[in-house]
Amino acid sequence: MCIRDRYQRRVHGELRQIVNKMQRLVSSALKLQRVMTTETRVIRPFSNKFQDRDAAFEKDYFTKDDRKKMKKLMTRLEMESGGTISDLDFKQAEVAKIRKILQSYNIREDNELVEAIYNWKYD
């Protein structure tokens, strides 16, 4: 065996060792990455004001959207009923519901009790 062959074998062996070390390093780095991603989701070292801001804008948008839908629904109900739904009509309907519930539990329907329940529910 000549010097050149011995040198090639030695270099080839060293390269094989380096590749094996790199493979072990990559596998341990992947394991560490899996652990780090699960831990960093739980613990955030910095405040995330941009996400808070985006969440607030989204909440405001959907709140406005819900208000618009409720307004459309109320106008449609008013058109179907042939007039406006007043607070008095609403209160009468709610008092009737409260009286029905009290009757189902065999509770004496006292006007003061019905008013107290109504005020408790809507005040």
pLDDT in tens, 33-77: 665 554 444 445 455 666 777 777 777 777 877 888 888 888 777
Give the per-residue pLDDT at 84: 60
How confident is the model over 77-84, as a mean pLDDT? 70
Between vectors from CA 40 to CA 37 and to CA 42, what angle results, nearest 5°?
115
- The pLDDT tens digits for 19-30 are 878 877 777 777
Residue partners of 55: CB distance under 8 A and separation at least 6: none
pLDDT at 103 over 80: yes
Poorest-confidence range of 48-57, 86-95, 96-105?
A: 48-57
How far is the CA of 44 from the CAs of 19, 40, 54, 55, in angstroms? 36, 6, 18, 17
How far is the CA of 14 from the CAs of 26, 28, 78, 83, in angstroms? 18, 21, 86, 92
